Amino acid sequence: MKILFCGDLVGRAGRDVVLKHLPELRDELGLDFVVVNAENAAHGFGLTGKICDALFEAGADAITTGNHVWDQREIVSYIDANPRVLRPLNYSVGTPGKGASVVKTRDGRSVLVVNVMCRLFMELLDDPFVALDNVLNQHPLGSTVDAALIDIHGEATSEKAALAHIADGRASVVVGTHTHIPTADAQVLPGGTAFQSDAGMCGDYDSVIGMKKDIAVARFRSKLVSERLSPATGPATLCAMYVETDDKTGLATRTSPLVLGGRLRPAWPDFLPPRRETAG
């Protein structure tokens, strides 16, 4: 199975770069499954049903979120009715929506998608290790599901790595989100799980993690906050993680960052043919 995970979409710039490139990437790479983290897609804070619909139309199969999931109140009813849009698994019982869902590929295979949130430097949620253990035990890889992808939304790379190691051999992909900075540690762990501490963001990198830099700098330099953070609107970079899995075991066989457009150095999996030129 060929899987693509797109890191945090930030504002219109992030939405536009994903909506532009995702259809062509699905076709060019022959992608079987695409997950997008969209918790910052609505002007940097939260997401809406309209945004989710546009991402699904462009080729996303599932959407994950994080600590900004509830910033747009309209998403509550949408997420409760749509199991392909996930909120963190380890929110308290009774929270709307789901933190894990089995989603079908276009050819009928089953993919477990899990969205879990860290606690170090984050909100004090339920234990992510217990929550992740439980859901992986319920959906054995290669048995009840053909692949499993876990989005770990968190600040500390140490906590993300620890969660990845308890999932090693039990999931196809463990990928981090939230810091908006792509890490250089993409690898297949010893048990066969592809891991990257953070996929980075889809947004304008001439910014402070996707937000307009002048406002962000001013907020660091003064406690007198006069203006709300807003997303940077320059040319955006698409940051993603590409993974191929074994059809029998569901484990990863190879992985690589994939970076297109904007300010960051382009990255294309070196085990694939060079990217063909596209119009525009």
Helix (H) or strand (E) holding 26: helix 11-29
Residue with tokens 């030129």: 277
**Which own/partner contact pairs does 95-100 have at CB distance under 8 Å and 24+ positions apart?**
99/131, 99/135, 100/135, 100/139
Closest of 168, 217, 197 to residue 257, by C-alpha: 197
- Classify 111 as helix, strand or coil: strand
Closest of 62, 55, 7, 3 to residue 176, by C-alpha: 7
Tell me the backbone φ, ψ of residue 163, rounded to 5 degrees: -65, -35
Active site residue 68: yes
- How many Å apart are CA 72 and CA 66, to the nearest integer? 13
Exposure string of 216-227, with b = 16+ CB inside 10 Å and e = fewer, is beebeeeeeeee
- How many Å apart are CA 57 and CA 189, to the nearest integer? 33
Q: Which of 21, 68, 139, 178 is catalytic?
A: 68
- Active-site residue list: 68
